[in-house]
Structure 1
Amino acid sequence: MSTTLTPDQTNDHATGRVVVITGAAGGMGAALVERFLGNGDRVIATDLSADALDKLATHLGAGDSLVTVAGSIAYEDDVRRIAEAARVAGGVDVLLNVAGFFPFDLFAETTPERWRAVIDTNLTGYYLVTHALLPLMTGRGWGRIVNVGSAAMYPGVAGQVHYVTAKAGLVGFTRSLAREVGNAGITVNLLTPGLTLTGPVLEHFPPELIKSQREGRAIPRDQHAGDLVGPIFFLASPDADFVTGQTLNVDGGMFMN
């Protein structure tokens, strides 16, 4: 049985870290869980579905290196349970805010309840998780927060005013938080993926929309969850020690900023 290093046993922060990943049972989240476990890190994975998390744990066979917590990042009680799991693990080195909710609703038909549900998951939930875990990150001299936004904020998307509004709000959240926590050795960055072919996208997005995204890229192919793992892993690594408050767009060259 392999031994997982604790943060106190390594001084380069390249491995043996405690990594919290939200939205961990989805396509992108699951790929990230696998990558960080393979790096020798301990992962606290959270998502809405306990069954999906159990299947992920069984598939990966990670043993004690993987801790799962079912719950919604939009609910404070659930977030407190995530924070407690992190406290038991000894603190947090890396926080990956990945969870998302991206329905299509015409603005005129969007109820206040629907608006709040989308904003709560894609923006307020990021605040709740980060706010709860930040005390477990400070005082360690090093830390990483990576927020996952969306390249949809660049052109805007009809039928997703709520979602794009929330994801655009992460730009200000990321930049301002980076200013506050830099002295603690913590970096905060934002990654904006293009349309990524996860299960929900394949199930709910029109084929013509997927085709238009593919054909509009400088690299004219579909985007997959694996395309995002490397960039996020970089932002969470010691190689990104002097990178903070930045937005890294990963969409195959659809939008070039």
Structure 2
Amino acid sequence: MNIKDQVVLVTGASRGLGAEIAKAFGREGARVILNYYQSEEKAKEVVEKIGSEAIAIQADVLDRDQVENMFEKAESHFNHPVTTIVNNALVNFKFDSVNRKDAKKIDWEDYQVQLEGSIKAALHTTQVAYEGMATLQFGRIINIGTNLVQDPVVPYHDYNTSKAALIGFTRNMASDLGANGITVNMVSGGLLRVTDASSPTPPEVFDLIKEDTLLKQVTTPEELADTVLFFASRWSRVVTGQNLVVDGGQVMN
């Protein structure tokens, strides 16, 4: 199925990376659902930029009932099941290397928040979408991760660990859903310049990252969004269970 024929849900799409992913799909002609939790005005601004083939729907992706209601609204609006999911929503986290909790201060509750934000949210969207995707014998699930799993240069213990768990989730779902024509992959960026979440990062950290990449540049949200499109395109139709690091060559697998 070409991207222009897909119905794409992007979670956490009102700003930052999520907004750029939604706009990238919009440019390719897809029908796009922008999920947001609180930022209604910003979500509607993104919808206006995409045009008539986009809709914004509020839902807390940690709440199964709200996710089911979101899918019902989306499928009713477009008269078609959701074919493609980008699990991008970030729950209560800032990339603040100065004020982060170190090994002595991190609490189990901090881990729980990020594990639920990564795994519980992705589980909800995957399970709710499954029936429609299986009926179509087509589905694309793309999870957003981080290169900090491979190289925790800043040990954000809760966030990094939750994204490591998301790799396991991605591979297990890929194994279980592949027979139904559903691929499950992961795109892992480095620190992006600049999103709301990365805005607390000091400029000197961005400078260090730039010098540490092979391309001598810090990846932007727009550049990462283009790679997400790859996993939804026909070019990746037999690729599943993979984690692609997109960071200008800072981390090489």
Partner residue of 2:63? 75
1:92 is the counterpart of 2:82: yes
* 3-state SS, counterpart of residue 109 of structure 1: coil
* 3-state SS, counterpart of residue 46 of structure 1: strand
TM-score by length of 1: 0.88
2:8 and 2:75 mapped to 1: Cα distance? 12
* 3-state SS, counterpart of residue 142 of structure 2: strand
1:131 to 124, 127, 130: 127
- What RMSD, in angstroms, separates the aligned Cα atoms of the two structures? 1.8
How many residues in Structure 1 have an aligned counterpart in Structure 2? 244
Partner residue of 1:186? 182
Shift in Å, 1:241: 0.9
1:154 and 1:187 mapped to 2: Cα distance? 23
2:2 and 2:109 mapped to 1: Cα distance? 42
- 2:85 is matched by which residue type in structure 1? L
Partner residue of 2:16? 27
- Cα pair distance change 1:146/1:24, threshold 3 Å: same
- 1:144 is matched by which residue type in structure 2? R
8 A Cα contact 1:87 1:136, kept in partner: no
Cα deviations by residue, 1:173-232 (Å, 9 ceiling, x for unpaired)? 111111111111111111110111133245211222222111100011121011112211
- Cα pair distance change 1:128/1:105, threshold 3 Å: farther
Partner residue of 2:163? 167
TM-score by length of 2: 0.89
Shift in Å, 1:159: 4.5
Partner residue of 1:242? 238
Q: Which shifted more, 123-132 or 141-150?
A: 123-132
1:153 and 1:92 mapped to 2: Cα distance? 30
Identical positions, percent:
28
- 1:25 is matched by which residue type in structure 2? S
1:119 is the counterpart of 2:125: no
Structure 2 gaps, min length 5: 95-99
8 A Cα contact 1:191 1:232, kept in partner: yes
Q: Which shifted more, 215-224 or 21-30?
A: 21-30
2:206 and 2:3 mapped to 1: Cα distance? 36
Structure 1 gaps, min length 5: 1-11
- 1:18 is matched by which residue type in structure 2? V
Cα deviations by residue, 1:13-44 (Å, 9 ceiling, x for unpaired)? 34221111111112221112112122221111
